[in-house]
């Protein structure tokens, strides 16, 4: 007897085949089972889904192998995938299969069986209880007590250096000690922060729960490593999963706690494929896990979620207002630094008063020299890598434009190359201007490479307290390409071998640099007058995070400073930054957004189109907009005109976008769901010929 199954598989984006497909199976399989199924001329991995199989006029094919060695993916995982696919307007199979490790998608039943026979390092039940007893501050103790007393969701608003990580450790420790089957998911925004956090968690929990109890999940791991971590989480062997945004989809049958560190960070928003927000899905997942577990057992403990940041996203801050005003999150506050530490004093340097082309003002340079003389460290922050953003000719005005993008190629002096940071196209620096032959071509502007070189020249005659030469180091995406390079460079900073650290946002957040007493931001003004309404929020968060690297050791915190060189020292953003007053900044930004009808007081989606020509991209969007007049809820939605994207051409593909906005999240969702068919039909119109792809981005972070 054959059994009909609904199976979700990965199908092309926005294809007409968006739902589960029907297959025959010689045996019944529960929802969540992994199976190999034929799709066209190939075989692929699928997940048995809990919907009724559809009648089909086509021949119904039989499944291949069932991966019996793995327990089915549970209802909470399937519910999370279903919600993400629906909310972010993607096919459920696309989201489900992308959430599984790449190597698992390639394995057959026999290969998986061999893989599961490998030792995974079981938890040592007889290990000694090495529960750490850490002296907590009054604020940490209060926050933990309030967390345990309520269901949440929670927003931990903690100053940089206030001990948020220790709160995470304590909450995980408390959970695992009282529930032998519980699991915790701890998320960080950047791969480079994972090893640092992993070291602390392993030190705390491995002696008690074994080497397999803590695993990582991020895109920097090899496919075998990712599969091993996923299997450990799926089986329950791993009690703690540390990861980036992809970890929100980890299969964790005992999940009872989710922590999202630096929850404001834009890295939690996926920018390709299903453009999901891992932070928002973490909140939804905790509610879903709680609902399903209490349905099965009314006495089951809830799955709690904790979002942590010194500069929360304005959406999260707004949701954590008092319940009487409509807030849905519980706000927990830790405004003080651990010990006697204090936040750095903010100094503004008016660059209008400096000589033209000054890079380091005399005041800032003197402050850095004083730190070197005292054996302390300084950090110089510039969010632009490379030597210079442009190479230009002084005779004919030639600039190093990328032939494939509407952007300039960046000059990298180390390998004498011009490299596009959008499409990756690179070539050696020409000996003379390609346009007029003038040999006098020169860099314009500064990146971290040039800043590092300039600082080394300025400090060449200075000596450290031990008599050695000053060491200037750089950490950015270029200097950390090699495996282990980042860890090695961070070790040098931590041991005091580096006097001045130059870098991009990679060094501005998450790191616990105990010897840094001065942080300097060079030219942060670009975001002050950006057309993107979120730019001030991102700049404030980045500067607050960067400043938080200074004075983390109480012995030096009184002398810690943050220097900001700006052409606009009177800007309100800097006034709030000087006071380290995030609530005041957030209140002013929310007032502006309320008046303008911007998120979180409205809801947005972007439809992006990529085509061979800009005309075709915009024509597709305009046609789809015109055809939306009969779509449900269109009267509650505003469709703005199609416009080119900020960088409108990348890799010879033209890009355009159209903003869709509504005061109602439900109305926007209903409209987008019904509009999908219109968008698919519009693609075949003659005016849209040349269209390469299109995508919907719900809750976009940049416009």
User: Tokens in use for 202?
Assistant: 């392993």
436 is annotated as contributing to ligand binding: yes
Report which secondary-structure segment, H or E, holds 110: helix 109-116
CB atoms within 10 A of CB 627: 16
423 is in an annotated binding site: yes
User: Residue 656 in 3-state DSSP?
Assistant: strand
SS3 content of the chain, % helix, strand, coil (to 5): 35, 20, 40
Whose CA is closest to 50, among 73, 26, 27, 70? 73
Distance CA 589, CA 528 (A): 13
Contacts of 441 (CB under 8 A, 6+ apart): 391, 392, 393, 394, 398, 430, 432, 433
Give, for 184, the enclosing helix (H) or strand (E): strand 183-187
Torsion angles phi and psi, residue 163, rounded to 5:
95, 35
Query: Nearest Cα to 177, choosing from 135, 240, 247?
Result: 240
Residue 303 is assigned to a ligand binding site: no
Tokens linked to 555: 């012995």
Q: How far apart are CA 307 and CA 263, in angstroms?
A: 6
Token pair of 106, please? 């390639």
393 labelled binding-site residue: yes
Q: Is 629 annotated as a binding residue?
A: no
What length is written for the chain? 703
Residue 405 is assigned to a ligand binding site: yes
Residue 205 tokens, joined = 């929990």
Task: Report which DSSP code applies to 526.
Answer: G
Whole-angstrom distance, CA of residue 285 vs CA of residue 685: 40
- Tokens for 331, please give them: 């706000």
**Whole-angstrom distance, CA of residue 698 vs CA of residue 76:** 23
Task: Cite the DSSP H helix spans in 184-277.
Answer: 194-209, 223-235
**Are the C-beta atoms of residues 425 and 403 closer than 8 Å to each other?**
yes
Beta strands (DSSP E) in 550-602 are 561-566
Q: Which residues are annotated as a binding site?
A: 393, 396, 402, 405, 420, 423, 433, 436
Q: Which residues are annotated as a binding site for Zn(2+)?
A: 393, 396, 402, 405, 420, 423, 433, 436
């Amino acid at each position: 007897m054959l059994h009909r199954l609904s199976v979700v598989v990965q199908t092309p984006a926005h294809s007409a085949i968006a739902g589960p497909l029907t297959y025959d199976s010689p045996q019944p399989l529960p929802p969540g089972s992994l199976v190999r199924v034929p799709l066209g001329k190939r075989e692929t991995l699928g997940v048995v889904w809990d919907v009724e199989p559809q009648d089909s006029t086509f021949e119904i094919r039989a499944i291949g192998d069932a991966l019996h060695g793995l327990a089915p993916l549970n209802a909470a995982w399937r519910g999370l995938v279903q919600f993400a696919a629906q909310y972010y307007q993607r096919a459920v199979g696309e989201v489900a299969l992308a959430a599984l490790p790449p190597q698992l998608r390639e394995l057959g039943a026999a290969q998986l069986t061999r893989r599961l026979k490998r030792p995974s390092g079981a938890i040592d039940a007889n290990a000694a209880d090495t529960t750490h007893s850490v002296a907590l501050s009054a604020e940490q103790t209060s926050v933990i007590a309030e967390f345990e007393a309520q269901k949440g969701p929670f927003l931990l608003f903690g100053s940089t250096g206030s001990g948020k990580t220790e709160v995470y450790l304590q909450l995980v420790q408390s959970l695992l000690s009282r529930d032998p089957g519980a699991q915790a998911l701890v998320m960080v925004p950047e791969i480079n922060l994972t090893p640092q956090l992993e070291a602390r968690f392993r030190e705390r929990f491995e002696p008690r729960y074994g080497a397999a109890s803590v695993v990582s999940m991020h895109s920097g791991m090899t496919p075998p490593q990712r599969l091993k971590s996923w299997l450990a989480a799926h089986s329950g062997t791993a009690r703690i999963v540390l990861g980036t945004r992809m970890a929100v989809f980890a299969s964790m049958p005992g999940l009872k706690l989710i922590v999202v560190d630096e929850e404001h960070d834009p890295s939690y928003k996926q920018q390709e494929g299903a453009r999901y927000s891992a932070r928002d899905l973490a909140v939804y997942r905790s509610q879903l896990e709680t609902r399903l577990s209490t349905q099965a057992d009314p006495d089951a403990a809830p799955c709690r979620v904790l979002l942590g940041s010194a500069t929360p996203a304005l959406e999260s801050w707004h949701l954590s207002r008092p319940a009487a005003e409509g807030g849905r999150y519980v706000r927990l506050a830790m405004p003080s630094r651990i010990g006697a530490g204090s936040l750095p004093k903010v100094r503004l340097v008016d660059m209008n008063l400096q000589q033209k082309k000054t890079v380091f003002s005399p005041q800032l340079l003197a402050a850095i020299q004083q730190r070197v003389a005292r054996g302390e460290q300084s950090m110089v922050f510039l969010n632009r890598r490379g030597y210079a953003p442009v190479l230009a000719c002084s005779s004919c005005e030639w600039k190093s434009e990328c032939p494939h993008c509407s952007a300039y190629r960046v000059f990298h002096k180390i390998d004498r190359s011009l490299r596009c940071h959008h499409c990756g196209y690179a070539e050696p620096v020409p000996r003379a201007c390609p346009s007029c032959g003038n040999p006098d071509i020169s860099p314009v502007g500064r990146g971290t490479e040039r800043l590092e070189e300039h600082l080394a020249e300025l400090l060449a005659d200075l000596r450290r307290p031990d008599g050695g030469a000053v060491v200037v180091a750089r950490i950015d995406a270029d200097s950390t390409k090699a495996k282990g390079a980042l860890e090695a460079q961070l070790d040098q900073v931590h041991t005091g071998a580096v006097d001045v650290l130059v870098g991009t946002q990679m060094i501005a957040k998450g790191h616990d640099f105990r010897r840094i007493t001065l942080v300097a931001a060079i030219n942060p003004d670009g975001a002050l007058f950006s057309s993107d309404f979120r730019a001030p929020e991102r700049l404030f968060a980045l500067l607050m995070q960067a400043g938080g690297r200074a004075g983390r050791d109480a012995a030096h915190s009184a002398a810690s400073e943050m220097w900001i060189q700006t052409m606009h020292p009177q800007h309100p953003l800097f006034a709030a930054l000087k006071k380290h007053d995030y609530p005041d900044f957030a209140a002013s930004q929310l007032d502006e957004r309320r008046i303008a009808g911007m998120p979180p007081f409205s809801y947005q989606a972007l439809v992006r189109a990529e085509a061979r020509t800009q005309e075709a991209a915009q024509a597709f969007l305009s046609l789809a907009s015109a055809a939306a007049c009969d779509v449900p809820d269109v009267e509650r939605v505003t469709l703005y005109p199609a416009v080119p994207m900020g960088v409108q051409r990348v890799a010879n593909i033209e890009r355009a976008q159209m903003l869709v906005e509504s005061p109602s999240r439900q109305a926007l969702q209903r409209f987008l769901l019904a509009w999908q068919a219109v968008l698919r039909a519009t693609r075949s119109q003659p005016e849209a010929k040349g269209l390469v792809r299109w995508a919907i981005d719900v809750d976009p972070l940049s416009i």
